[in-house]
């Protein structure tokens, strides 16, 4: 069952990634601006502009550029950057470790915050503690990264001087970006943990455990927690893909040299191949996160395997 599901998901991923590559390609060509202007400046000689345009194959029809791009992807060639003429895939691989480090710390922070908060809210469902916990969760979901990041920077970096403002070379530089990125994830996971715990506590397994005289603490942390973990773990796997979407903004705010910042820099420079490669890589991570969520659901939930 698991092998069949994985095979189906891989087959479905091909048209998804093809659609992403196609959409990004044509959207970039619709965006105002000329890569030649970004490289040479608007005061360059017409002959130099035409020579560069021919060297970059930008003088070809759009459909011909598109077929060449897809042919390169099939052959494993992601193209070359228009700015420094380095392979796009090589540029992306250089930035992935920084993004992976930020994503790992953010996800860890989200789990550390979400599970106790979700348990506390579920244990006191309908009371002030529940309202306070879910209010904090709603606040975390509502605050955008591009607002929270600068506020944390002003308070803890500029005002108090406790942490670095930007970059990743100084000790503690990852703290503020991780908080900015992990807060929204913690809010989503805490709400899922609360609802899953409450649903598990109303199930037949819990009623049976109570009939046998098992203590409430044991029921909450052994029987109910096991059932509640299934949707929470699945949601966590899905959030791994969403981290990259939030990392684009967070890395830009804190000048974190990861894949998100590389994407923004490529857009500003009209570096078409690099933008296409960055977006395609982010889409691939989303597909892998969804695949991981499906696999975990099948492994942890017998109902899905027999459904």
Beta carbons of 118 and 190 less than 8 angstroms apart: yes
Q: Which two tokens stand for residue 292?
A: 């991981």
Cα separation, 248 vs 197, whole angstroms: 33
Contact 259, 247 (CB under 8 A): yes
Which token pair is 156? 């803890």
Q: Which domains does the chain have, with CATH numbers?
A: 88-306 (1.10.3720.10)
Cα distances (angstroms) measured from residue 6 to each of 3, 237, 240, 287, 303: 5, 15, 18, 11, 18
Cα–Cα distance, 249 to 255 (Å, whole number): 10
Query: Going residue by residue through the chain (307 aa), what tens digit of pLDDT does each one get?
Result: 567 766 777 787 788 888 888 888 888 777 766 666 666 666 667 776 777 677 667 777 888 888 888 888 888 888 888 888 889 999 999 999 999 999 899 989 988 988 888 888 888 888 888 888 888 888 887 888 888 888 988 898 888 888 888 777 787 888 999 999 888 888 888 888 888 888 888 777 777 777 777 877 777 877 777 777 778 887 887 777 778 777 888 888 888 899 989 999 888 888 888 888 898 888 888 888 877 777 776 776 655 555 5
Where residue 126 falls (left for φ over 0; alpha for ψ -120 to 50; beta otherwise) is: left
């Amino acid at each position: 069952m698991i092998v069949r599901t994985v095979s189906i998901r891989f087959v479905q991923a091909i048209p998804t990634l093809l659609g992403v590559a196609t959409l990004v390609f044509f959207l970039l060509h619709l965006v105002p601006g000329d890569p030649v202007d970004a490289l040479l400046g608007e005061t360059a000689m017409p002959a130099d502009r035409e020579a560069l345009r021919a060297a970059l194959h930008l003088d070809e029809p759009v459909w011909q550029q598109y077929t060449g791009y897809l042919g390169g992807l099939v052959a494993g060639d992601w193209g070359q950057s228009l700015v420094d003429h380095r392979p796009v895939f090589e540029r992306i691989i250089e930035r992935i470790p920084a993004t992976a480090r930020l994503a790992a710390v953010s996800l860890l922070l989200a789990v550390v915050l979400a599970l106790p908060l979700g348990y506390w809210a579920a244990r006191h469902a309908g009371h002030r503690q529940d309202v306070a916990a879910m209010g904090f969760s709603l606040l975390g979901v509502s605050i955008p990264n591009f607002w929270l990041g600068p506020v944390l920077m002003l308070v803890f970096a500029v005002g108090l001087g406790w942490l670095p403002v930007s970059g990743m070379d100084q000790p503690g530089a990852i703290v503020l970006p991780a908080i900015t990125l992990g807060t929204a994830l913690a809010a989503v996971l805490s709400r899922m943990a609360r609802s899953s715990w409450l649903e598990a506590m109303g199930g037949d397994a819990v009623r049976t455990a109570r009939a046998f005289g098992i203590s409430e603490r044991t029921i909450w942390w052994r029987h109910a927690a096991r059932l509640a973990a299934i949707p929470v773990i699945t949601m966590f796997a899905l959030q791994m893909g969403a981290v990259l979407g939030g990392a684009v903004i967070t890395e830009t705010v804190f000048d974190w040299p990861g894949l998100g910042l590389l994407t923004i820099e490529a857009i500003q420079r009209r570096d078409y191949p690099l933008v296409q490669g960055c977006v395609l890589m982010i889409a691939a991570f989303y597909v892998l996160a969804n695949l991981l969520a499906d696999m975990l659901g099948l492994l942890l939930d017998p109902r899905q395997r027999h459904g």
